[in-house]
Structure 1
Amino acid sequence: MITRRDFSTLLAAAALAPASSGLAGAQSRPVARNVVLVHGLFADGSCWSEVIPKLQAAGLNTTAVQNPLTTLDDAVASAKRVLARQDGPTVLVGHSFSGMIVTEAGLEPNVSALVYVAARAPDAGEDYAALAKTFPTPPASAGIVFDGDEGRLTEEAFLRDFAGDLPEAKARVLYAVQEPFHKALLAGKTTVAAWRSKPSFYAVSTEDRTIDPDLERFMAKRMGATTIEVKSSHLSLISHPQTIADLILKAAGR
């Protein structure tokens, strides 16, 4: 487990070599016409249903990818297929695990900016699991169960550690549509880091019990992202949809 001193050292090291994206790249990016949203583990594309109408109301063509949750290669390919259908500059947004997808697929030429919502943000070739182990283990990890090669969260862990700030009735609906993930998905590593060349934005969930909030802060700092903090569970996109939509709109230059 990382100590406060270790965390400060990591942040200082990240600050010495920030990515070239962040605010500097934001000044020259084109105004986006499209948004592509990618979901992570324990969810499907419907998890963006609170954010989508807010983006559509602002005039953005918005598409939610149905991440197959099989392998990282499959997941990246599914996002790239959707990106290829977009006409013009596009903001690519990822929640949770799909930050891996954003990091890999974000180099597509029509991607104008990246948005990470309580998401993984590895460097090229980085072992994300090893990085995560340098921070406290989030409570949700203990709630993952497997049926053969398929993993999912127990209902107790889903309600308490994944969707902890949502009304129980709504959280139970989300639990009912939870998409199991394949073990092979977790073995994938990104080969590139799009955040090193694309303007990046990050929403930290300060009450997160699925990814440690200090790990989120570290990744956001390392990439030089425009960062906001949301007092939220892992599902800020549902409990605080206007805040997340506003960040996406900022990334879109709206």
Structure 2
Amino acid sequence: MITRRQFSVLGAAAASVAVGPLAQAAQAAQAAQAAPRGRSPVRHVTLVHGAYADGSSWSKVIPLLQAAGLEVIAVQNPLTSLRDDVAATERALARQDGPTLLVGHSYGGTVISQAGLAPTVAGLVYVAARAPDAGEDYPAVAARFPAPPVARGVVKANGFQWLSRQAFLRDFAHDLPEAEALRLYAVQGPLSTAPSTTTVAAWRQKPSWYAVSKNDRIIDPGLQRFLAARMRAHTVEVDAGHLSLVSRPKDIAGLILEAARG
């Protein structure tokens, strides 16, 4: 027999199929409140940006999550080393006072794979992201797939790397209006060229979700599918380039809200 509580949760899930993202956000908050006893609902999200970016890359996703009643923190990674970026993420997690989804874009996937064993982390969401195994030579894994077009536009100097203006517009932000892409180019964060090998793979112990960018020119879509399948993540494919969180924020927020319900 289906109880009244179970019926309300099932009804909310069924209704979400037929409504838009903002209505889905409201229903996600209702479903979280109806979570079974003994399991705390996820009400917190920590967002981790990738290389060549900063926390503002999440600016379109954040209001959609907040509309669902979630508390959101976007980390500002220094990008000076994996250790420093993990420390920044851990400080953000410490500010959350309950079960938290840890979300990483691009290189941010490496960061959340290392930081995701924190006891407050309820699940991991990867957005067109790296997802290395513990101790893995990630560049060697990536080399099994076609070299991304952006490789021609990486500039290196003084222990850091960044994208040339042409590569940023052509490959990193190619599905955005030029004016918006240029604003993001102006705040791009250079990434340390030091090795970024993880010592743990949190996705082996935490439930995971993955958004594949089908038109990605930074991380080959085939590589993304391989990483998602390896971690047995719930996977969606987004018709977008590498910056799906900017060009398709409703799709990315929808996946995060689904993870919060799950």
In the superposition, the TM-score normalised over structure 2's length comes to: 0.84
- Which shifted more, 93-102 or 175-184? 175-184
Count of aligned pairs: 226
Alignment of 1:144 with 2:161, yes or no, is no
Answering whether residue 68 of structure 2 is matched by residue 58 of structure 1, we say yes
Letter paired with 1:33: R
Matched AA of 1:209:
R
Calculate the aligned-residue CA RMSD, in Å. Answer: 1.4
Alignment pair present for 1:178 and 2:188: yes
**Which residue does the alignment assign to 1:243?**
251
Corresponding letter in the other structure for 2:99: P
SS at match of 2:217: coil
**1:112 counterpart = 2:122:** yes
Aligned partner of 1:204: which letter?
Answer: V
Matches within 5 A, 1:195-214: 195-214=203-222
Any gaps of 5 or more consecutive residues in structure 1? 1-26
- Give the residue type in structure 1 aligned to 2:133: D
Give the SS at the match of 1:92. strand
Letter in 2 for 1:149: G
Structure 1 residues 239 and 29 mapped into 2: Cα distance closer, same or farther (>3 Å)? farther
> 5+ unaligned residues in a row in structure 2: which ranges?
1-35
* Residue from 224, 242, 261 that aligns with 1:253: 261
Could you say which residue in structure 1 is the equivalent of 2:132? Answer: 122
Give matches, 1:1-254, under 5 Å: 30-184=40-194, 187-253=195-261
Report the AA paired with residue 218 of structure 2.
T
- Residue 32 to residue 139, structure 1, CA distance change in 2 (3 Å): same
Instruction: State the AA in 2 paired with 1:253.
Output: R
> What is the deviation of 1:150?
2.1
How big is each residue's C-alpha offset from its partner over 1:190-226, in whole Å with a ceiling of 9 and x where there is no partner? Answer: 1111111111000000000000000000000000000
User: Given that residues 39 and 45 in structure 1 are in contact (C-alpha distance below 8 angstroms), is that contact kept between their aligned partners in structure 2?
Assistant: yes
Structure number, greater radius of gyration: 2
1:16 aligns to what?
none
How far apart in 1 are the matches of 2:181 and 2:101? 28
Residue equivalent to 1:6 = none
Percent same amino acid among aligned pairs? 62
Contact 1:29 1:112 (8 Å CA) reproduced: no
How far apart are the structure 2 equivalents of 1:252 and 1:72? 26
CA distance in 2, matches of 1:72, 1:88: 25
Q: C-alpha separation between the residues in 2 aligned to 1:232 and 1:188?
A: 27
Q: Give distance in 2, aligned partners of 1:91 and 1:212.
A: 25
Kindly report structure 1 stretches of 4+ aligned residues shifted beyond 6 Å. none
Structure 1 counterpart of 2:81, one-letter code: T
TM-score with structure 1 setting the length: 0.87
Q: CA deviation at 1:30?
A: 4.3
1:29 Cα deviation from its structure 2 partner = 6.8
1:147 Cα deviation from its structure 2 partner: 2.8
Partner Cα separation in structure 2 for residue 61 and residue 81 of structure 1: 15
* Local SS of the residue matching 1:252: helix
Deviation at residue 85 of structure 1 after TM alignment: 1.1
